[in-house]
Amino acid sequence: MSGIGAAAAGAAPVLPTPVGGFQELSVPSSMGPIEVQVQWAARGGSAALYLLDGLRAPADHSQWTTDTDALRQFANDDITLVFPVGGRSSFYTDWYRPSSTNRQTTTYKWETFLTRELPAYLAQYGVSRTNDAIVGASMGGNAALVLAGHHRDQFKFAGSFSGFLHPTFPLWSEAMRAAMLDEGNFNVDDMWGPAGDPAWSRNDATVQAELLRGLPIYVSTGDGQPGPLDLPYGIGNTVNAMALEAMTLTATQMFRDQIIASGIPARIDIVNGTHTWPYWQQALATARPMILDALATH
């Protein structure tokens, strides 16, 4: 049995378990090699936190490592931080086919990567496949909740920061279409098919709320109004961030109404602010003690 296969079968790690430090890995996948940035658990523990980027995910690094202090926040914690790199406009989901509007040659298969290929690879280093947490910002927010809901055997905590949590709401598929065309000329129809296809409902955190019952959840969004962390300059960026956050606010309120009606507990914070990284850094700091509790890493 190969090293990955042995780890997947629950055998002991085949590589020394790293203790602390930062590393960049090249992980095999059906999409080709995927770069994954990792900060290893401070004392060699097995728990892991996956952090997902937003729509404009860069090809060479995770914005969590450059636009927030995530590495510092967890530097002394016994939890491995896992930052998948790339996947812009992917919504971290398994697509039906390659995007037909930008000559994409491979089909995005991010759910497969994050729940099968990457955990199997990290298991070589002693990282648990069954004691993980997942959070995401913007595009990654809905994905974090959906992935956790469908893979409860892997994820023990989920967090969404300014996530678009109700993509099946009427006409919101068109907002996603416009955003994805703007960011890389990706075609939403090649992701989940036309609006109404079952893939849309499967990937809608509000529709799938029942799958989250019993899971520790933290959801945050801004109110769309400039707050204390918005820059006093860059007015154009602030206006765009206000409009985006107004949409995530509405989606978060609909998600909140759904889980309240269903009797599903979750912490949901609505703060003064816009769709920008300083607020997601703040949300991660709020979520940190909940994550450590859920993964029993104290």
The residues carrying an active-site annotation are 138, 245, 275
Rounded Cα–Cα distance for residues 201 and 235 (Å): 36
Pairing of strands 22-27, 34-39: antiparallel
Q: What string of DSSP letters covers 118-147?
A: HHHHHHTTT--SSSEEEEEETHHHHHHHHH
CB < 8 Å & 24+ apart, contacts of 70-77: 70/281, 70/284, 71/22, 71/39, 73/284, 73/285, 73/288, 74/39, 74/49, 74/288, 75/20, 75/39, 75/42, 76/42, 77/41, 77/42, 77/288, 77/292, 77/297
Q: What string of DSSP letters covers 212-232?
A: GTTS-EEEEEE-SS--TTS-S
